[in-house]
A and B are shown apart, each in its own frame.
Chain A
């Protein structure tokens, strides 16, 4: 059972690292918006080449 004396401190250290990583992620705002980033990967085609600069509709009308 002496292996426990090695394994348990390791697991506690891993737990400490996990808690630290989680707190860091929350503080950095990684969990602020869980929905939008999921969409980013779904539509990521580069925009088509256009022959004129994009204008706001307010300029157009």
Chain B
């Protein structure tokens, strides 16, 4: 690391640096990068004079990676016809991207597009991960603009569907308008209510008073029924399910205050409480929006289905080919898939061989070789060469859809522990409603004229303003802090359960180990020089994209390998210093047939060396496990691989609880067994084979480069490869839990003090409302500490 001046993380994406980092000038002086992609991105940013990005950003960028991206798809007429629309001077399209982490990303995208002369107009939204581009097709194809984005690490995807998109946007706007109406209405209603309250000696003429009351009635009606509609409908739903919850309490007290005020207004009684009703709706609406906002950001970024769906397929029909939407495919159609495209439906490979990248299903980024007759799955990506297949299943019948269903089922059957918090809430609500009846009954008996007012003050005081704010405010802050360390929480209870976790179950491949292989053992025959063997292997593997190449990269001294070619299914051969070498399977390189490991042979006859390769541990795996153990968590390893490598890895990391050769069902059973012992299990994995267990565990975390479906099944998704995020997230979750506890404690203590006073009739509703506001402010400020403490941590780390 000396070479990079003590720098340990990539300058661009913040991921740990590999053993041989890429060095390039950026910012002030030379910087180290994890891959050529990140270096190119930083160089582009410097070249475009957009260095401001590094100052402005509040979250690290996404790893760019070195894999080239085929963007020609975006220039196809069918795609443009379906997904873009004509605007004056050109066309406009909305694309989805996965790398936007903070507002600075949106800023960078906007500026980067601005440098292209074909761009007419663009806007990027970091909240939804959407980029709107208007461009002039006469000047440049869309792919040129998108290539700029891709080189910066923002891969474009087609949004799932325009209708879905519109619905989501409309929903968000409806909520905003509700909040606005509630805020403005509450302000006006409060103003008039203050005038009524300040009339201490009842000197106001009855006519003016009634005029004010009717005005307040007019103002609060839309607030209660339009802005407060989510609570009213929620309460109705809860009542129908005989399941009393927060919404019932909120709607109950709002309606009580409102209806009672209307009755008093008509009757000309001494008091109205419109202000309590409207303030209540406004504050709770704001709290609910705060909480949802943070989660929506996370889910928008993990919009996995959008990434999984190829939009068009090329079908053979009557000797010709035609492009049809995927939905038009039927069983027994013959479909062509160009290299770099996703397979549109499940099918059988018709002829030859094909390399399919099944990352979506398995999380494994290395292509799998398929032969004629083998099954191909929808959503996998065809590499190197085109393929022809006969469709066997479409739409809901594809393996992809079935797995998605499995995930949804597993999610629906979460262990009951996860709903504990919910249940406690219900008891509280039920107790509160019952005791309010008691208070009313007592005052009815004691002093009927004040019974109603006292009950209302009692409800307003108890009413969980602070109580209901205490959790959302803490969660919103925590979600923000979590996103800054690179973990997105997509489900409401994820943080709470993570804080309570007692056991962590790891999947092996892709989680604790990386994709690249490392040399574990080298054996030479006939006194062949070991360094020489490594040098030759490195030269042969140099340009292959096989995972084994990484194992030899460190030994490469630049010796040229002439006419190196790969023999599919066997290995690589090439000429070095006039000698023909073969590297690959035993029989191919001149070793024994079926011999284990990777063999190197001269002229394909005499084997001179044998390499044993093993998966490489991720850089921070050991440190992460140590911290998790320090946090009191027991660690388990559950892998689908053979026993020997899993045991070796477990031994290396000091993990005793090891399970090898596990099918997804086995893993789920293992987790269920742990849960049956009363443990709270956190599962960390990346493949689709992990998806059911990710969904079935109490809380689950999916890796950044894992299968999209696994991310969809998980409660938390990591945005980068840094494993240290896991213990950080656990620590943050525990701190959040503590803050929530403090907030609840404060809110309850406030209630305990104030409720007897209210029950005794010493508090008027407006004093209750004031106390409530002060109490709410306290819990909100306490929740904000989560963000501050997080920053201190970052400085220490």
Binding site for B on A (CB under 8 A): 1, 4, 8, 11-12, 15, 18-19, 22-23, 26-27, 31-36, 38-40, 42-43, 47-48, 50, 54, 56-58, 60-61
Total interface residues on B, CB under 8 Å, equals 43
CB neighbours (8 Å) of A43 from chain B are: 52, 55-56, 107
CA distance A12 to B184 in the complex (A): 11
**Contact indicator B56/A26 (Cβ below 8 Å):** no
Partner of A23, one of B41, B177, B215: B177
**Contact indicator A22/B184 (Cβ below 8 Å):** yes
**Contact indicator B55/A19 (Cβ below 8 Å):** no
CA distance A61 to B219 in the complex (A): 65
CB-CB under 8 A for A26 and B208, given A36-B124, A56-B144, A56-B147? no
7 other A-B residue contacts (CB within 8 Å) besides A42-B56, A61-B36:
A1-B208, A18-B184, A35-B106, A50-B49, A56-B147, A56-B148, A57-B43
CA distance A57 to B44 in the complex (A): 6
Contact residues of A: prevailing secondary structure = helix
A-B contact pairs, 23 of them (CB 8 A): A1-B205, A4-B208, A11-B191, A12-B215, A15-B188, A18-B184, A22-B184, A31-B176, A32-B125, A32-B169, A33-B123, A34-B127, A35-B106, A35-B127, A36-B107, A36-B124, A39-B104, A39-B107, A42-B56, A43-B55, A47-B49, A56-B44, A56-B147
**Contact indicator A39/B173 (Cβ below 8 Å):** no
CB-CB under 8 A for A47 and B188, given A36-B124, A54-B115? no
B517 at the interface (CB under 8 A from A): no
CB neighbours (8 Å) of A39 from chain B are: 56, 103-104, 106-107
CA distance A44 to B106 in the complex (A): 15
Q: Map CB proximity to A onto B339-376 as digits: 1 under 8 Å, 0 otherwise.
A: 00000000000000000000000000000000000000
B102 at the interface (CB under 8 A from A): yes
**Contact indicator A33/B215 (Cβ below 8 Å):** no
**Contact indicator B180/A19 (Cβ below 8 Å):** yes
Partner of A57, one of B40, B102, B123, B184: B40
Binding site for A on B (CB under 8 A): 36, 40-41, 43-44, 47-49, 52, 55-56, 102-104, 106-107, 110, 115, 123-128, 144, 147-148, 151, 169, 173, 176-177, 180-181, 184-185, 188, 191, 205, 208, 211, 215, 219
**Contact indicator A33/B47 (Cβ below 8 Å):** no
**Contact indicator A11/B56 (Cβ below 8 Å):** no
CB neighbours (8 Å) of B147 from chain A are: 56, 58
| Residue among A1, A12, A19, A57 with max Cβ neighbours from chain B (10 Å) | A57
Partner of B48, one of A35, A38, A42, A54: A54
**Contact indicator A57/B55 (Cβ below 8 Å):** no
**Contact indicator A38/B43 (Cβ below 8 Å):** no
**Contact indicator B124/A19 (Cβ below 8 Å):** no
CB-CB under 8 A for A33 and B127, given A15-B188, A39-B104? yes
10 tightest A-B CB contacts, nearest first: A35-B103, A43-B52, A36-B106, A57-B40, A22-B180, A33-B125, A36-B103, A47-B49, A39-B107, A57-B44
CB neighbours (8 Å) of A38 from chain B are: 103
Closest to B39 in A: A57
CB neighbours (8 Å) of A60 from chain B are: 40
CB neighbours (8 Å) of A15 from chain B are: 184-185, 188, 219
Partner of B107, one of A8, A40, A57, A61: A40
Partner of A35, one of B126, B181, B191, B215: B126
Closest to A47 in B: B49
**Contact indicator A27/B104 (Cβ below 8 Å):** no
